[in-house]
Amino acid sequence: QAAHESANTLNMTLLAGTNFVLHAAGWLEGGLVSSYEKFMIDQDQLGMMQKMAEGVDLSENAQALDAIREVGPGSHYLGCAHTQANFQTAFYRSPLADNNSFEQWEIEGEKRIEQRANALARSWLEHYEAPYLDPAIDEALKDYIAKRKDSMPDAFT
């Protein structure tokens, strides 16, 4: 239910013309709690919306005019050069959606989106590499944090 409501809220936000949303992913209970799974589901929805926000591409390539000329009526486009050149980037491909048949989904363990989101979040965390930070900048930041903490009343430390 929360994922569905979140998707609707994000859709309405995009359609309203908003181009920056500060708290768009992972929040539950009005920001009192967060969830790795919901974060992954929300970022997936945001990826779809980003693709939608790009608008309709009316270029000759996007409209597949070469493919239409190549294939003609009464056949399929799967093997034509245009499809082969564009199929990986033409659409948003969700890392979470399961587009298999119901039978295949059952065979593969009946994993709900929350389970797939959890696995993806764990993978991201396991493979995270901290970006390089100059040791002098790191030390300056640590000193600043320590000074700020020392300047606060004991109740905040």
Of 135 and 15, the structure prediction assigns the larger pLDDT to 135
Looking at residue 40, its amino acid is: M
Q: What is the dihedral of CA 12, 15, 16, 21, to 10 degrees?
A: 70
| Residue 17: CA count within 13 A, CB half-sphere | 0
State yes or no: pLDDT of 156 exceeds 60. Answer: no
Element (H, E) at 34: strand 33-34
Concatenate the DSSP letters of all residues of 41-100 into one string. Answer: HHHHHHHHHHHHHT----STTTTTHHHHHHH-TTS-STTSHHHHHHTTTSS---SS---S
Q: Is 32 helix (H, G, I), strand (E, B) or coil?
A: coil
Rounded to 10 deg, the angle between the 2-15 and 36-53 helix axes is 30
| Residue 31: CA count within 13 A, CB half-sphere | 3
- Determine the length of the chain: 157
State yes or no: pLDDT of 85 exceeds 80. Answer: yes
Q: What is the pLDDT of residues 129-149, one digit of tens each?
A: 999 999 999 999 999 999 999
**Domain spans in the chain, listed from the N-terminal domain onward:** 1-55, 57-95, 98-152
**What's this model's pTM, rounded to 2 decimal places?**
0.70
Q: What is the pLDDT of residues 96-124, one digit of tens each?
A: 999 899 999 999 999 999 999 999 999 99
